[in-house]
Amino acid sequence: MNRLNFNQLFDALPSPHMIVDGELSIVAVNPAYEGATGRLRDELLGRALFDCFPNEGPERTRLEASIRRVFESGRSDTLAFIEYEIPISSNAADGFEKRYWSAVHSPLCDDAGRVILVLQNTVDITELVRLRTAAGSPASVPTEELALLQRTREIEEAYRTSRSQLDRFRHLFEQAPGLVALLRGPDHVFTFANRAYRALAGNRELRGLPTREVFPEAEAKGLVDLLDRVYATGQAFEGSGLRVLASYPSVGLRELFLDVSFHPVRDEAGAVEGIFVQGYDRTESVRAHHRQRLLIDELNHRVKNTLSTIQSLARPSFRADRDREEARRTFEARIVALSNAHNLLSERHWESADLETILLTELRALDLDRVDLSGLPVRLNAKAAIALAMIFHELASNTLKYGALSTASGRLSVAWEKRSDTIVFHWRETWQTAETVEIQPGFGTRMLERIVTGELEGRMDVQAGGDGLIWNIELPAIEIEEIPHLALH
């Protein structure tokens, strides 16, 4: 037997059929449809449905809503009874004829499961309605025709009731704070996703998209494998803290952690036809837990380093040849400097501290009216904040005891600037003195050298003269600046 093509089969259908696209333009009609509407195919194809059959009343709204529901849901939709006037001819001036119809709208999908066209099968039931109207009494209407008309109305009422219930459930799911979605078929195509789920996926429309397009296969193979298993076995799955990488059109991939449950949806025969998805986005709580663990690890590390620093400060401070009271004051001052830096970092959860804030904290014992500061804001990482606090403390103690601020006329100027990949500090002290300024080597200078060159991998030099001195410190920016976290929202 010869193979029939679509046009041959479509034209051979005995009842009226018509096909519209997403713009509600007519793309195909069969001869039975031409006969039912009194319009030729050439008059209809390519034109908007409601230009061919205009109607501004509530029946047009019902008809259009039915067709659009099919595009949105991917499921057939029935109008068991609708009163709709059609033009007597292609000339609108000839007037319209009131007729009554029963219509079924069915989805036509592409290979990916997306609805691209809607097929309308319509039946003209005008004669049945007219028979009942003309008779004026149910007894005068043929029993079979009256039963059919009554059944038509019952179907329509049942449909309206079920549609109302469906809209109510859809509204409830839409407002649910958790993630709710319904997937259909072996490719897990989205037929519904509530507001929370759409927001998780970048505030985009998901209906008609396979799961692999929302969560790409290479990054979320485990997720798709779980869905495949539920679809194949019919056994539900529940998981906590499931890691998923979602693809966003504007920002690319984003790491998510979800609590999810996948439950099979079965048809009337008991076969799995889809999956009902519920879940909660636990990304922030998982990340907070991760940050807490890192913080504890970092705190343990910092405590060990701090104890080592205190030990290194204590040994030279309490050597045998020093005055015990002076040694105590010097040691306590260095411990306070260390404590101040710790307090500032604790306020920022040990993530960063502002350079100028660290500097002012160590200079607050000085006469700030004789101190000039200049430099752009710099966020210090935790390691650099502690190290620079100790550096500024030593320099401030020195200028107060022996340098510019030990005299009535001296001034201190601290400036910093960023040069390509380094940050340079200039600590300048100026005062009038009859003696040549000299730097005496001691524990303070050795500690400065160790911190600058050893811990921060920088360089330091000092220039002394008749009118004061300048400490120049150059540090790699990568060693002292905070690295910002990547924003994924």
- Report pLDDT digits (tens) over 283-307: 777 777 766 666 566 555 555 555 5
**What was the pLDDT predicted at 80?**
77
pLDDT (tens digit per residue) in 115-126: 999 999 888 777
How is residue 321 written in tokens? Answer: 């040849």
pLDDT-based confidence at residue 486 (cuts at 50, 70, 90)? very low
pLDDT-based confidence at residue 432 (cuts at 50, 70, 90)? confident
Greatest extent of the chain over all pairs of C-alpha atoms, in Å: 132
Average pLDDT of span 142-159: 54
Residues 430/435/437/440 CA torsion (nearest 10 deg): -140
CB 393 within 8 A of CB 331: no
Q: Which residue has the higher pLDDT, 377 or 344?
A: 377
Side by side, which strands form the sheet with 422-430?
A: 371-374, 411-419, 422-430, 468-476, 459-465
Residue 464: exposure state from Cβ atoms within 10 A (0-12, 13-18, ≥19): middle
Q: How far apart are CA 55 and CA 51, in angstroms?
A: 9
Query: 156: closest CA among 82, 91, 250, 99?
Result: 82
pLDDT-based confidence at residue 139 (cuts at 50, 70, 90)? very low
Q: How far apart are CA 67 and CA 61, in angstroms?
A: 10
User: Is residue 444 pLDDT above 50, yes or no?
Assistant: yes
Q: Which residue has the higher pLDDT, 461 or 381?
A: 461
The helix or strand, by DSSP H or E, that contains position 201, with its residue range, turns out to be: none
- Would you tell me how many other CB atoms lie within 10 Å of the CB of residue 20? 20
**What was the pLDDT predicted at 387?**
83
Range of weakest confidence among 107-121, 213-227, 250-264, 390-404: 213-227
Q: How far apart are CA 392 and CA 340, in angstroms?
A: 12
User: Is residue 140 pLDDT above 60, yes or no?
Assistant: no
Average pLDDT of span 462-479: 87
For CA atoms 137, 143, 147, 148, give the dihedral sign. negative
Range of weakest confidence among 23-32, 105-114, 399-408: 399-408
How is residue 309 written in tokens? Answer: 């620093």
User: Is residue 248 pLDDT above 60, yes or no?
Assistant: no
Average pLDDT of span 307-311: 53
Cβ contacts of 451 within 8 Å, gap of 6 or more: 387, 390, 391
Cβ contacts of 202 within 8 Å, gap of 6 or more: 246, 248, 249, 250, 251
Residues 262/268/269/273 CA torsion (nearest 10 deg): -30
Percent of the chain residues topping a pLDDT of 70: 67
User: Is residue 475 pLDDT above 90, yes or no?
Assistant: yes
Query: 200: closest CA among 184, 182, 177, 216?
Result: 177
Q: Which residue has the higher pLDDT, 168 or 181?
A: 181
Residues for the chain: how many in total?
489
How do beta strands 371-374 and 411-419 pair?
A: parallel
How is residue 323 written in tokens? Answer: 């005055």
What pTM did the predictor assign?
0.37
How is residue 186 written in tokens? Answer: 């072996």
User: Is residue 160 pLDDT above 70, yes or no?
Assistant: no
Query: 247: closest CA among 238, 256, 239?
Result: 256
Q: Which residue has the higher pLDDT, 85 or 415?
A: 415
**What was the pLDDT predicted at 167?**
64
CB 18 within 8 A of CB 33: yes
pLDDT-based confidence at residue 168 (cuts at 50, 70, 90)? low
Percent of the chain residues topping a pLDDT of 90: 17
Range of weakest confidence among 16-20, 243-247, 478-482: 243-247
**What was the pLDDT predicted at 137?**
45
**What was the pLDDT predicted at 402?**
82
Spacing of C-alpha 219 from chain mean position: 16
**What was the pLDDT predicted at 205?**
82
How do beta strands 379-380 and 353-354 pair?
A: antiparallel
**What was the pLDDT predicted at 86?**
76
**What was the pLDDT predicted at 279?**
83
Q: 387 in helix, strand or coil? A: helix
**What was the pLDDT predicted at 281?**
79
pLDDT-based confidence at residue 243 (cuts at 50, 70, 90)? confident
Q: 255 in helix, strand or coil? A: strand
Q: Where are the alpha helices (DSSP H) in 176-210?
A: 195-200
Query: 120: closest CA among 169, 202, 52, 211?
Result: 52
Spacing of C-alpha 436 from chain mean position: 65
Q: Which residue has the higher pLDDT, 107 or 339?
A: 107
Q: How far apart are CA 156 and CA 246, in angstroms?
A: 42
Q: How far apart are CA 416 and CA 376, in angstroms?
A: 8
Residue 124 DSSP symbol:
E
Averaged pLDDT of the chain: 76
Cα separations (Å) of 382 from 146, 166, 388, 447, 463?
86, 56, 10, 19, 30
CB 99 within 8 A of CB 84: yes
Q: Which residue has the higher pLDDT, 346 or 52?
A: 52
Q: How far apart are CA 189 and CA 108, in angstroms?
A: 15
User: Is residue 67 pLDDT above 50, yes or no?
Assistant: yes
**What was the pLDDT predicted at 390?**
81
**What was the pLDDT predicted at 141?**
42
Average pLDDT of span 118-140: 65
Q: 178 in helix, strand or coil? A: coil
DSSP 34-65: HHHHT--HHHHTTSBHHHHS---SHHHHHHHH
